């Protein structure tokens, strides 16, 4: 039997980009634990996506994985068609929650950052978030919720990550505009900014390199680097009706990094 939270949200549907790994996967799992059906995207690794599908289905909700490179805006129109079909299979014509999570990293000093790498970051983290949201808005139910995943690096500066951090700063501005323009539809938009998390992001630096992990821990008030389960439950909670009056905000989930 579903618990009360699940019973109240069993018909809800979330779209999570980059949901096959890391924070996206953890978010999808925690949404499923609340009875939310999930459509998630993955970029290329079908086997990892299928494993995520099995893990989420085991929680008793419906889940559909769709391939999408969020850096290719030209693919978005076709993706919307796939999303419509996925929603129909779930008995819905609209979805309720959008989590723009998919992303890649880039480490280089300003003097060494290439235009090619910069443009790739723009495509994934800014154009991708902006135009995928634009394309999906007609499929979003009034009263829905949008969360754009940013980074603590948009607040504090760590040398060598300026291009990536700049994209996240732009996304935070975009989020406030979403909140303002979508207010008449009752749709909220917020930014969640994780600190350094031990996943395979950036080649697993925080997870796999002890000296880097210790550097993060030493800079964090709670004395350790984050793990996916520090962030996914928070995003799932923010999407719930308990947080319906939170709008246009940047919420950092970093354990108190560089306070």
Catalytic residues: 150-151, 164, 168
- Phi, psi for 156 (deg, rounded to 5): -110, 155
What are the backbone angles phi and psi of residue 157, rounded to the nearest 5°? Answer: -105, 130
| C-beta neighbour count of 30 within 10 angstroms | 21
| Distance of alpha carbon 160 from alpha carbon 176, whole angstroms | 27
Q: For residues 114-140, b (16+ Cβ closer than 10 Å) or e, as one string? A: eeebbeebbbbbbbbbbebbeebbebb
Separation of alpha carbons 13 and 81, rounded Å = 16
């Amino acid at each position: 039997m579903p618990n009360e939270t699940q019973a109240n949200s069993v018909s809800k549907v979330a779209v999570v980009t980059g949901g096959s790994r890391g924070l996206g996967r953890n978010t999808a799992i925690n949404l499923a634990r609340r009875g939310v059906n999930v459509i998630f995207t993955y970029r290329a690794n079908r086997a990892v996506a299928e494993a995520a599908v099995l893990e989420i289905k085991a929680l008793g909700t419906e889940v559909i994985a769709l391939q999408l490179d969020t850096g290719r805006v030209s693919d978005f129109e076709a993706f919307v068609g796939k999303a419509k079909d996925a929603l129909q299979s779930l008995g819905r014509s609209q979805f309720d929650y959008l989590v723009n999570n998919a992303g890649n990293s880039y480490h280089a000093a300003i003097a060494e950052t290439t235009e090619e790498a910069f443009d790739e970051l723009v495509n994934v983290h800014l154009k991708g978030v902006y135009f995928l949201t634009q394309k999906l808005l007609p499929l979003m139910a009034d009263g829905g919720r949008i969360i754009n995943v940013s980074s603590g690096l948009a607040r504090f500066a760590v040398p060598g990550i300026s291009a990536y951090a700049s994209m996240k700063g732009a996304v935070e501005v975009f989020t406030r505009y979403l909140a303002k323009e979508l207010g008449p539809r009752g749709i909220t938009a917020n930014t969640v900014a994780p600190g350094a998390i031990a996943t395979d992001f950036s080649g697993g630096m925080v997870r796999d390199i002890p000296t880097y992990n210790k550097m993060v821990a030493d800079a964090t008030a709670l004395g350790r680097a984050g793990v996916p389960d520090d962030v996914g439950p928070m995003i799932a909670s923010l999407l719930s009706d308990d947080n319906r009056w939170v709008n246009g905000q940047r919420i950092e989930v970093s354990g108190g990094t560089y306070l």
